[in-house]
Amino acid sequence: MSIETQKIYEAEFLLENMREILRRTAPDHRFSEEERKEFDENIKKLDKIVGEMRKNKYTGSNLKYIVDKIELRRREEDFINIDPIQAGGRLTLEARKAMIAYGDGYSICDHCFKPFRLDQIQKPPVHEFMEELAEFVGMETARVVRGARNGFQIVSNALLEKGDVALVSSLAHYSLCLAIESVGGVWKEIPLNRERIITGENTERKIEEVREKTGRLPKLVAVSHFDYIFANEHDVYGIGKTCREYGVPFLYNGAYTVGVMPVDGKKIGADFIVGSGHKSMASPAPTGILATTDEYAEKIFATTKLEGDLTGRSFGVKETYLLGCTVMGAPLIAMMASFPKVRERVKHWDEEIKKTRFFISEFTKIDGNKVVSEMPRKHTLTKVDTTDSFDKIAKKHRRRGYFLTDELKKRKITGLFPGTTREFKLNTYGLSWDQINYLAEAFKEIAEVYGLEVR
Ligand SMILES: *Cc1c(COP(=O)(O)O)cnc(C)c1O
């Protein structure tokens, strides 16, 4: 770990020690002699660190763990992280501050009054946030859910009966298939075309096939705009149109889009928009969004209807498929704290694409490096193939595929699956131009070290 990162953590923890004393001595913070001493000792240590920071000259530190076996995480401080699933979920500064202040369990419930529902809380402005979220994705109603998968589950629960067919992409994420299965539904796959794209025509053909075989239309079509394997762009407009023609509801899976690029559910013709907070909205896990139209809001956000047979109890306006309240405390507040920046950053998606394209053009200057995803890139997530370059080295290297992991680590780059040198995914989202240049140079340098030709 870099000494700078270590010292920041040390200083933060000293402040937390002091905060602990405030909690212990609430409400008047009248310290005992013992507590005064403890407080002062923390100040003294903090003072020393601040002194070192001021001079930018550090003595060592052996802080490595939060508690036994739980290491400090420093991926985002000390490395360039190109992990395919982590780039868009990196927290904003504001979200990290929110995590510190709202970490306590049900902290979101401080000012929760009638009708006792998460989306109705005014302070902090949860209600306003949900309205803004709906608008953000061009829909009428939105809720925060526990990850994109929980969004799939809620829609599946509301729409599918046992044995009902739902169509998914041949590149669908496992969690979507499991959500359908979990409610007794059956998922069927829409085939890719030759370019590995899901089109409106293929969706239509699959709908017809299901109708022929079962005598009924599928109950749901769910396709991701950019899949998680190649991050190819699928024809969500065409699929939306097909679904409208057949009257089959369309779930737009925006796990890789909502929060990084503009998404307009109206324009797409989607009935449901699902997004992932921890994948693409600079939020902690587990967070996501589920948005819908007025037409479907009552169905998927249906409120509880039953009452107790002994007590007659009922639960008011709690939303059944959501199990009442969803994401509470720090994850929700952090998501809200990130939102202003998220709303702004989607406007600069084209710049992210420029950076990715530049990186890919540099990366493919290495003889044998190929791109498996569609070209030119329309997403910052890309699958590449280095069978004819790095994998050739790996075959003869004593560390096998780990040689690449080692070389990247030496250059403070992380996030690739350890040991793979054939096909792997990387995500450049959020890197600055300097970091992009650094990344490209690092790969080219490694290639040269091992005698691969770089054009
Ligand atoms: C990551 C991902 C998911 C799952 O998202 P969670 O928010 O973790 O539930 C679903 N679909 C696709 C296409 C994904 O990439």
- Pairing mode of beta strands 288-292, 141-145: antiparallel
Fold classification of 348-449 (topology level) = Aspartate Aminotransferase, domain 1 (3.90.1150)
Q: What is the average per-residue pLDDT within 129-137?
A: 98
Probe target for ligand 1 pocket from 83, 154, 226, 228, with the most ligand atoms within 8 Å of CB: 228
* Angle subtended by helix axes 433-449 and 402-410, to nearest 10: 130
How many A from CA of 255 to the centre of ligand 1?
5
Ligand 1: list residues with CB < 6 Å: 147-149, 173, 175-176, 224, 228, 253, 255-256, 276, 278-279, 288
* 4, 158, 292, 387 from 154: Cα distances, Å: 44, 6, 12, 41
Side-chain-facing half-sphere of 10: CA atoms under 13 Å: 25
Nearest CA to ligand 1 atom 8: 147
Q: How many other β-carbons are positioned within 10 Å of the β-carbon of residue 439?
A: 22
Choice from 175, 225, 373 to test ligand 1 binding pocket (greatest atom count within 8 A of CB): 175
Residue 295 pLDDT grade (very low, low, confident, very high; cuts 50, 70, 90) = very high
Please compute the mean of the pLDDT values over residues 362-374 and round it to a whole number: 98
Report how far ligand 1's centroid is from the alpha carbon of 147 (Å): 7
> Among residues 89, 110, 113, 112, which one has the least CA distance to residue 101?
110
Q: What is the pLDDT of residues 308-351, one digit of tens each?
A: 999 999 999 999 999 999 999 999 999 999 999 999 999 999 99
Q: How many residues does this entry show for the chain?
A: 455
Q: What is the mean pLDDT of residues 400-418?
A: 97
Q: Would you identify the CATH topology of the domain 112-327?
A: Aspartate Aminotransferase; domain 2 (3.40.640)
Q: How far is the CA of 348 from the centre of ligand 1 (A)?
A: 22
Amino acid at 210: V
Residue 1 has pLDDT above 90, yes or no: no
Buried b (16+ CB within 10 A) or exposed e, 323-335: eebbbbbbbbbbb
Residue nearest to atom 1 of ligand 1 (CA): 255
The whole-number average pLDDT for the span 223-237 is 98
**pLDDT digits over 146-159, tens only?**
999 999 999 999 99
